[in-house]
Amino acid sequence: MLTLQLAWKNTIGAGIRTWLNVIVLSVAFVTIIGMQGLYTGMLDRARDAMIRMELGDGQFWHPEYDPYDPFALSESHSAIPANLRDAVATGDAIPVLITQGSIFPEGRIKPILLKGIPPEQTILEIPTQSMVSDSDDDIPALIGSNMAENSGLSVGDYITVRWRDVNGTYDAADVRIAHIMETIVQSVDNGQIWLPLDRLHAMTGMENQATLIVSGEGARNITSAGNWIFRDIGFLTKEIDEIQEMSDSSLSIMYFFLLGMGLLAVFDTQVLSLWRRRKEMGTMMALGMTRGMLIRLFTLEGAMHAILAILAGAVYGIPLLTWFANTGFTMPEYVEDYGMALGRTMYPTYGLQLVIGTVILVFITVTIVSYLPTRKIAKLEPTDALRGKFS
Amino acid sequence: MRNSALITIEDLLKSYPMGKGEFIALRDINLQFEKGEFAGLIGPSGSGKTTMLNIIGSLDKPTQGDATVLDKRISRLSHKEAAALRNHHMGFIFQTYNLLPVYTVYENVKLPLLLLKHLSQKEMDGMVKDALEWVGLTDKIDSKPAQLSGGECQRVAVARAMVKRPKLVLADEPTANLDAKNAHNILQMMERLNDELETTFIFATHDEKVIKYLRRQISLEDGRVVADDIVQA
């Protein structure tokens, strides 16, 4: 308690030196939380949007299906497995058929994926109801806003689509753009045209076949379907987790520099403080302080910078980060081409773990950095200290 | 050796390594100090006054021989035991006052009491008030050292040394930075405290102003005691 009292007094008494350190540390502290929050928010939103618009409660994949191998698509479709048919019939699971195709916007060929989905489905938050049509001649299609922009398509436009049927024969038809959906999930948008499943069945001759089945809440208990492979959410969002891991390490470097600046300021202050206050240390020793008490006192003085930085960070950081979380951060347009569900505006998410973790990180690193120079005191002779010397 | 002696120094030698050899700061020192003495180690610079004061104050250790202070043999004390001895029984007054700049007068004087750890806030307040009354600084209680004159700073230092009513006060050139008037004021105050509280004062000085007040003058030259005189009032 005594050491704490003295450390507090000395830290506040140091005036501008303390406050400069506190400012640098608190900026580092708030920036780390802000950036990590932005990043976490971005990935959480991406993960959430992917689950709602693409992944459902998991997917059953045809054994040949590989989303990274478009050439495998011609082989990766077959009849819906028997134990999933009931779930499909009741709408608890959605069959999706995927095949390759091409469109010809502005006279150039553009490879695309044709995805067939039942328009009446309610599991994925894709506006598939917009593809409901009474006319047999009309092929309504749903595309994402990026696809529309990149291909120069608007609602009501007709575009010629070419594909290969089940026998490998090329066929073509004009499809009508029934709706353009706004989505941040690029894997349901870029280079894709969604069609009613029965129409795609008819176009390709792949009646009652699917490439994958999206499982809904009502089909959660089904985890196997013949030789089809169940991919749970953990597997399907692995890419995001990998991106997170990768980015965590690159962000760590930035945090290291940010925090490093603050730590350097504290270290510098500690070293200068030890140098300037040698006589004070000698006096303290003459008054009866032990070296251990002095080491604790100086370390605590350094650690006080972290405590003050956390308090100062809270004073301006809480309103700033709350405002940031509410208004979001608008990204430049080009980020939509990244292929990830980033969204134009990103909203940071600050978890308790993030805030407490950062507080602990700042406190521990500052305390360690504060302690390092004070080890010199362990060898300090009182007579040398009183003369203003280090042993 | 008399049992009543507060300090007993026997065959003390203190040397420091210097290059390949050594510098002998004190040699053949044999002294005793009784309770309530107002004594001074006098001599020119380099005669060993401060070294002896540091050994008595357990801030330094003898190379040979020993000093027994309040029944503690200085050469055998650990760092912590020496700190405890200073904490409980000694007060120090320095030439440059050594007040802590960020603390007020009150906090500077209170610091030795905080280190004692067993006193209540009320007890400490009373003791600090008494000490500041002794030195006549009750009106400067909230001032910082930078706001005080040299004489006032040294009075604060005296109050800090006296606040826990130690058995022994060691003063190293306490008037060196003071003008004649302030020096006399400080010395008269110390003399009064010595009379009233029976605190033993040992000075290290070559200042004539101080020497005039000493009741016992121990002259040092080249690390040796060359005279030990009791001065008749």
A120-179 pLDDT, tens digit per residue, is 999 999 999 999 887 778 899 999 998 999 899 999 999 999 999 888 899 999 999 999
Q: Per-residue confidence at A252, pLDDT binned at 50, 70, 90? A: confident
pLDDT of A243 above 50: yes
Domain check: are A181 and A285 in the same one? no
Give the residue on B whose Cα is nearest the Cα of A5.
B114
Domain check: are A150 and A206 in the same one? yes
Q: A355: distance to nearest CA of chain B, Å?
A: 34
Among A12-21, A242-251, B34-43, which range has the highest average pLDDT?
Answer: B34-43
CB contact under 8 A, B83 and A288: yes
Q: Which of A13, B191, B42, A60 is nearest to B183 (CA)?
A: B191
Domain check: are A156 and A302 in the same one? no
What was the ipTM of the complex prediction?
0.90
pLDDT tens readout for residues A316-345: 999 999 998 888 877 666 555 555 555 567
Please state, in angstroms and rounded to a whole number, the distance separating the CA atoms of residues A254 and A31. Answer: 10
Q: Per-residue confidence at A181, pLDDT binned at 50, 70, 90? A: very high
Please state, in angstroms and rounded to a whole number, the distance separating the CA atoms of residues A206 and A60. Answer: 18
Domain check: are A188 and A273 in the same one? no
Mean predicted lDDT score pLDDT of chain B = 92
Q: What is the pLDDT of residue A337?
A: 54
pLDDT tens readout for residues B32-90: 999 999 999 999 998 999 999 999 999 999 999 999 999 999 999 999 999 999 999 99
pTM: 0.72
Range of the domain at A101: 60-231
Q: B233: distance to nearest CA of chain A, Å?
A: 32
Domain check: are A211 and A277 in the same one? no
Q: In what order do the strands lie in the sheet with B90-93?
A: B90-93, B168-172, B200-205, B38-42, B216-221, B224-230
Which residue's entry shows tokens 């020496």?
B82
A383 vs B60, B86, B96: nearest CB: B60
Q: Which residue has the higher pLDDT, A76 or A246?
A: A76
Out of A231, A262, A295, a domain closes at: A231
Domain check: are A210 and A100 in the same one? yes
pLDDT of B2 above 50: no
Q: Which of A86, A73, A71 is nearest to A200 (CA)?
A: A73
Domains identified in chain A, total number: 2
Domain check: are A74 and A113 in the same one? yes
Domain check: are A215 and A339 in the same one? no
Q: Is residue A391 part of a domain?
A: no
Q: Which of A359, A313, A340 is nearest to A39 (CA)?
A: A340
Domain check: are A255 and A157 in the same one? no
Domain check: are A48 and A154 in the same one? no
Q: Which of B55, B78, B114 is the mutation pick for testing A, counting most A CBs within 10 A? A: B114
Find the length of chain A.
391
pLDDT tens readout for residues B163-210: 999 999 999 998 888 888 888 988 998 899 899 889 999 999 999 989
Q: Which of B84, B99, B198, B80 is nearest to B145 (CA)?
A: B99
Domain check: are A172 and A68 in the same one? yes
Q: What is the pLDDT of residue A21?
A: 86
Domain check: are A186 and A211 in the same one? yes
Which ranges constitute the DSSP H helices of chain A?
2-13, 16-50, 82-89, 145-151, 197-204, 233-236, 238-276, 278-287, 291-327, 352-374, 382-386
